[in-house]
Amino acid sequence: MSKKGTVLVSGGAGFIGTHTTVALVEAGYDVVMIDNFSNSGPSAVEGVEKILGRKVTFEEVDTCDEKALRGVFERHQFDTVIHFAAYKAVGESVADPLKYYRNNLVSYMNILKLMKEFKRPNVLFSSSATVYGDAETLPVTEQTPRQEATSPYGNTKQIAEDILRDCCKAYPGFYGIALRYFNPIGAHPSALIGELPRGVPNNLVPFITQTAAGIRECLSIFGNDYNTPDGTCLRDYIDIVDLAKAHVAAVDRMVSGKMETKYEIFNVGTGKPVSVLELVTRFEKANGVKVPHKIVGRRAGDVPAVWADTTLANEKLGWKAERDLDDTLRAAWAWEQNLHKK
Ligand code: UFG
């Protein structure tokens, strides 16, 4: 066992899970990855192993299956869990709320119940900037009031944050950190792991890369009549490798007993707003490719602008986003191209 300890990563084969596993192992942690491959596949685990040059511990387990998950707790010693396993398509959650509440909350309750029962102290939950909704003041700090969720997906993030807060308050020896991600994009510089959307991508960058690759004819930009400098929405696009490192910093903080309260929340973003149009143009320039695009109507549920105040993460986690946006967009394109070589 590594001196630093072992981390259970649920949803380990996903976009954030794979990059975080790489970052944890590179930082000296042992990792147990679990995933049910509902939105990923074995090639994601193979990509992680290729980058690391060694095998990782992986089990195909559905976190909603308490019995199977219990087996993982019985077989492996770990102090910390990073819980990524969840569905994440906003529109689908509106169409089928029960699917989202069941999957995202049952899996989470199973994890928390077993952490308590097996006396494993540290839970890191992957939350989202979605909890801020259409914030009145920007950038948002962790103190910015949450807004009522506009989708069942968003609501599962709010409920899960509250459950963690309450567990930390009630149970001795139980610690929690919620990381609120802004818009994770990009891919590992090796182009061996990245985002693998199924079907038509909902998110902007996978749609851009697929359009550049000729898989999609044209990118639709949802609205240019927002009250922003160029009329398109502003977001805080965080490089996936930087995001993965934020998890390492949060785990370091937990295992070294540096938490100041039993439950802590951190924004994970760059602190820099970028418009949709600007992102498309930057992608085209950085990669020397064209992304045919047109302006269409607004997408329901989009907020005009949200970006992070990252002071707390900078100071308390000693973490800061470092990657240059052009490098991130080059990595996203390299990953897309690599997919078509296979
Ligand atoms: N956009 C387009 N065209 C597309 C896709 C997106 O113009 O084809 C725009 C959106 O309107 C938005 C921006 O690109 O202005 C970013 O959209 P994404 O779907 O990539 O990201 P969101 O900001 O909507 O969503 C992200 C996360 C969600 C989270 C949400 C709210 O992906 O998990 O933030 O914080 F819930």
Q: State pLDDT tens for residues 22-33.
A: 999 999 999 999
Summary mean pLDDT of the chain: 97
The pair of three-digit structure tokens given for residue 91, joined into one six-digit string: 């529109």
pLDDT band at 3 (very low <50, low <70, confident <90, very high): confident
pLDDT (tens digit, 9 = 90+) per residue, 229-247?
999 999 999 999 999 999 9
Place of tokens 């009630």: 170
The residue to mutate among 236, 302, 303, having the most atoms of ligand 1 within 8 angstroms of its beta carbon, is 302
CA dist 188 and 222 (Å) reads: 28
Residue nearest to atom 4 of ligand 1 (CA): 204
Q: How far apart are the first and last CA of the chain?
A: 35
Indicate if the alpha-carbon torsion angle 215, 198, 275, 223 is positive or negative: positive
Does position 107 have pLDDT exceeding 90, yes or no?
yes
334 lines ligand 1 (CB under 6 A): no
Q: Give CA–CA dist 158/130, Å, rounded.
A: 9
Count the alpha carbons within 13 Å of 71 in the hemisphere toward its beta carbon.
10
Two structure tokens written together for 37: 């491959």
Q: At 95, list the tokens.
A: 């169409």
Report the nearest-CA residue for atom 27 of ligand 1. Answer: 183
Distance 203 CA to ligand 1 centre (A): 5
- pLDDT at residue 298 is higher than 90: yes
Q: What is the pLDDT of residue 341?
A: 83
Q: In angstroms, what is the span from residue 195 Cα to ligand 1's centroid? A: 14
Beta-bridged to residue 178, according to DSSP, are 125, 265
Binding site membership of 193 for ligand 1 (Cβ less than 6 Å): no
Largest CA distance in the chain: 56
Buried b (16+ CB within 10 A) or exposed e, 56-86: bbbbebbbbebebbeebbeebebbbbbbbbb
Q: Other CB atoms closer than 10 Å to residue 215's CB: what's the count?
A: 15
Residue having the nearest C-alpha atom to atom 24 of ligand 1: 302
Closest CA to 124 of 85, 72, 83: 83
Does ligand 1 come within 6 angstroms of the Cβ of 203? yes
**With 0-12 CB in 10 A as exposed, 13-18 as middle and 19+ as buried, what is 52?**
middle
One DSSP character per residue, 223-234 reads -S-SSSTTSS-E
Ligand 1 closest atom vs CA 131: 35
Above 90 in pLDDT, residue 277?
yes
Give pLDDT tens digits for 37-92.
999 999 999 999 999 999 999 999 999 999 999 999 999 999 999 999 999 999 99
253-273 pLDDT, tens digit per residue, is 999 999 999 999 999 999 999
Query: 183 C-alpha vs ligand 1 centroid, how far in Å?
Result: 8
pLDDT in tens, 121-171: 999 999 999 999 999 999 999 999 999 999 999 999 999 999 999 999 999
CA 239 from centroid of its chain's CA atoms: 10
DSSP track, 63-116: TT-HHHHHHHHHH---SEEEE------HHHHHH-HHHHHHHHHHHHHHHHHHHH
Q: Is the CB of 88 under 6 A from ligand 1?
A: yes
Report the alpha-carbon distance of residue 307 to residue 73 in Å, rounded.
Answer: 37
Q: Is 208 in the pocket of ligand 1 (CB under 6 A)?
A: no
Residue 137 zone, left/alpha/beta (φ > 0; ψ -120 to 50; rest): beta
Q: Which residue puts its alpha carbon closest to atom 18 of ligand 1?
A: 203
Residue 176: predicted pLDDT: 98
Residues labelled catalytic: 153
Q: Which residue in 210, 178, 212 sits closest to 194, CA to CA?
A: 210
Query: b/e string for 181-206 if b means 16 or more Cβ within 10 A?
Result: bbbbbbbbeebbbbbbbeeebebbbb
Alpha-helical (H) ranges within the chain are 15-26, 42-52, 66-75, 90-95, 97-117, 152-170, 204-212, 240-255, 276-287, 311-312, 325-341
CA distances, 252 to each of 18, 77, 182, 214 (Å): 18, 17, 21, 42
pLDDT for 289 equals 98
Residue whose Cα lies nearest atom 15 of ligand 1: it is 233
